[in-house]
Amino acid sequence: MGAPPLKAKSFQDLQDLRAQLAQQQARAARQAADHAARQLAEWQQRQLFARAVGPVRALDAAATQRVRLTPEPAPPLPRQRQRDEQAVLREAISDAFDAGTLLEVDAEHGFRQPGIGADVTVRLRRGHWAVQREIDLHGLRREEAREALGAFLREATRAGIRCVRVVHGKGRGSPGREPVLKALVQRWLAQRREVLAFVQAKPLEGGAGALLALLAAG
């Protein structure tokens, strides 16, 4: 509803009515100006946003549909392959193997594969090849020592290592003080294709408790 009509009863009332009317007109003008200013500010903001974003294109309904992604399953652990490798390793180096059937034996407990010259064990014993890596099998059970030695030789060959020291101990803690592990290590080394020769270490390098082995070049 609008404002009630103004009625004048005298000249003074007429002047008051004019003043009231002027106030109403001024108020209406201010409101109209405020409204126009707000619309202008909103329009300016939209223009600034449009220039900042750049051209846009409405997405169709198909594009707005969610796509369900199925995560790829994690690759299975090669447990069977690991078991197979361990089985091959156990079969490849047997405890019952007779090293004398394949090795040339010299008077100083040096061993070499067939086709390897006697000078190789001589140079190996004299330190012609520096020891680059070592494994200590002390305190390991038979199966643990066999698997540890096999893994050690594989890694050394991959790394291009030529000379290694295998510490097996002198058997002082074994029943009867017999070097059981020493004999086993000799048999195991003899069956490895990457082992060209091995000799007993010098006293300062372990003596009767260690072997120096020469590996084939990778």
Residue type for 213, please? A
CA-nearest of 117, 93, 95, 98 to 106 is 117
Distance CA 3, CA 197 (A): 118
pTM, whole model, 2 decimals?
0.53
Q: Is 192 helix (H, G, I), strand (E, B) or coil?
A: coil
CA 53 to chain centre: 41
pLDDT digits (tens, 9 = 90+) for 12-68: 667 777 777 878 888 888 888 888 778 888 877 777 777 776 676 666 655 556 666
Contact status, residue 118 vs residue 216, Cβ threshold 8 Å: no
Contact status, residue 147 vs residue 89, Cβ threshold 8 Å: yes
CA-nearest of 187, 155, 193, 191 to 168 is 187
pLDDT digits (tens, 9 = 90+) for 70-103: 667 666 656 656 555 554 454 455 555 455 444 4
Pick the more confident residue, 155 or 33. Answer: 155
